[in-house]
Amino acid sequence: MPDSQKINYQKELDRLIAGLGDRTPTLFLHACCAPCSSYVLEYLSQYFDITLFYYNPNIFPEAEYRKRVEEVRRLLSELPVKHPVRLLEGKYDPESFFALAKGHEAEPEGGERCALCYELRLREAAVLAKAGGYDYFTTTLSISPYKNAQKLNEIGARLEREYGVLYLPSDFKKRDGYRRSIALSKEYHLYRQDYCGCVFSKAERDRRVAEQANVSAENR
């Protein structure tokens, strides 16, 4: 077994896709937002029959959640894809996120709270992918340079073993995937949020903005 630190998940995905032949497997794809979904859909819809699963109970406030899911709907209505993509919206249940975040409120972005949030969303995707008889499940989250692709793939592999549905390895930021998502966001005028989504990331964003404003005021 190779050291997980050295796994190139994009190459793992390349090998998997190369082995598909003429098959078009079904993929249950968790979506975090429209900008991240844009490149991933453009890329994966060439090879998979996709159901895009919008499940993000971490997002705060609810108005922000609604804004993001509507952007996903709009993207799907405008983005050309090889195979049709269906959207399934999960339940907006912020209490499930607050329950797992208890005791981790003070942690910085990228810490254990974020790993638990990854698993919350991936687990729901795995459960529904298994129930729906999908060939694979995965998430768009790895396209972000702020998300830990290794941790995401480790969680996905563990859930694959737990639920018996294949996890699609990914590190979508590779090969300029993140840059392409920015270009597509501009092309389709997508709303690009300036915080991850949860109340804690929003508070961190607000502190950063306030600090910048103070620095600007002092330099006047």
Query: How many structural domains are present in the chain?
Result: 1
Are 52 and 31 in contact by the 8 Å Cβ rule? The answer is: yes
Q: What is the pLDDT of residue 5?
A: 61
The pLDDT value given to residue 154:
97
> What pLDDT sits at residue 215?
65
DSSP annotation of 108 reads P
Average the pLDDT over 33-37 and give the result: 97
DSSP state, residue 61: S
Q: Which of 126-130, 132-136, 174-178, 191-195 shows the lowest per-residue confidence on average (mean pLDDT)?
A: 191-195
pLDDT in tens, 38-79: 999 999 999 999 999 999 999 999 999 999 999 999 999 999
SS (H, E, C) 147-199: CCHHHHHHHHHHHHHHHCCEECCCCCCCCCHHHHHHHHHHHCCCCCCCCCCCH
**Two tokens, residue 177:** 């995937």
Range of the domain at 51: 4-218
Task: Give the per-residue pLDDT at 3.
Answer: 46
**In sequence order, what are the residues at sequence separation of 6 or more whose Cβ sits closer than 8 angstroms to the Cβ of residue 205?**
194, 195
Q: How far is CA 208 from the centre of its chain?
A: 24
Give kind and range of the element (H or E) at residue 11.
helix 9-18
Read off the amino acid at residue 213. Answer: A
- The domain that contains 151 carries what CATH number? 3.40.50.620
